[in-house]
Amino acid sequence: MFKDTLSRLFRKREEHIIPGKKSTAGMSASDFKRLPKHVAIIMDGNGRWAKRHRLAVSKGHRQGTENLREIIRHTDDLGIHSLSLYAFSTENWSRPKEEVDALMQLILDFFASEIDELDAKNVHILILGDKSRLPEKQRLTLVEAEERTSGNTGLHLNIAINYGGRDEIARAARILASEAANGRLDPSTITEKTIAEHLYTHGQPDVDLLIRTSGEMRLSNFLLFQCAYAEFIFPKVLWPDFSVKAYDEALSDFGGRQRRFGARI
């Protein structure tokens, strides 16, 4: 009976995975010339992947989530400090209701299947964005994940849900304006560091490497402040097909770049 239960759970987890798509162990940290401290990924191309395979868009998002597990594990294995993932933007509410509902369900499914492993691996989960607009069940799931892993000291896993970069900066401005109005802050002392301390990612390093899959070359309102000096890589592969090997290639590309931060070397 126990074996039957395990078998059913395994089938449920794998039922949306395309046959032949296998996990790859990937390279080790010592194989890279230099690794970024903070990687941000815009996981683009789920819809086009689904269309290519003649599937519903929701199936593309689900396949993308299956792929995400391997990327998170590999990032953790490499010892990278922060991984920021663009899961759902403030603009995504305008998508068809069926697609939005599927994405909301994926939030529940992902944390139900992954929270135990993430917590056991000392991953610290942080949700970037305004959780108040989310359905109650999803909001509580995210709050619980944050609270459960708040004391963890490993990989900082930032998941952007109902997030917009301009909205984040406006939020920081409102907080600073309120502090100034109440006499707790001298506006003349506000610096870039002050603003950074009031962003969702406060205390984390700025983004070193931003990856956007599917070949699209734009930020789409993602981590605008944090990406000021990020290196950008735009692989043409659609997100559900973005393998650990492709990820390693992007990391290797980053390691070979000379970063000047505005200076002349």
In the structure encoding, which two tokens stand for residue 187, read together?
Answer: 């506006």
Residue spans of beta strands (DSSP E) within 100-141: 124-128
d(CA 52, CA 62): 15
Active-site choice (77, 92, 130, 167) = 92
Sequence-ordered strand ranges (E) for the chain? 38-42, 82-89, 124-128, 156-163, 209-212, 231-233
In whole angstroms, give the CA distance from residue 162 to residue 156: 19
92 belongs to the catalytic site:
yes
Q: Is 167 a catalytic residue?
A: no
Contact partners, residue 37, CB within 8 Å, separation at least 6: 80, 81, 82, 205, 208
User: From the candidates 4, 31, 44, 167, which is the catalytic residue?
Assistant: 44
The kind and range of the H/E element at 205 are: none
- CB 193, CB 218: distance < 8 Å: no
Alpha-carbon Rg for the chain, nearest whole angstrom, is 19
Among candidate residues 34, 71, 126, 55, the one with its CA nearest the CA of residue 245: 71
Residue 231 near residue 259, CB atoms below 8 Å: yes
The rounded Cα 55 to chain-centroid distance in angstroms is: 24
Q: What amino acid positions are annotated as catalytic residues? A: 44, 92
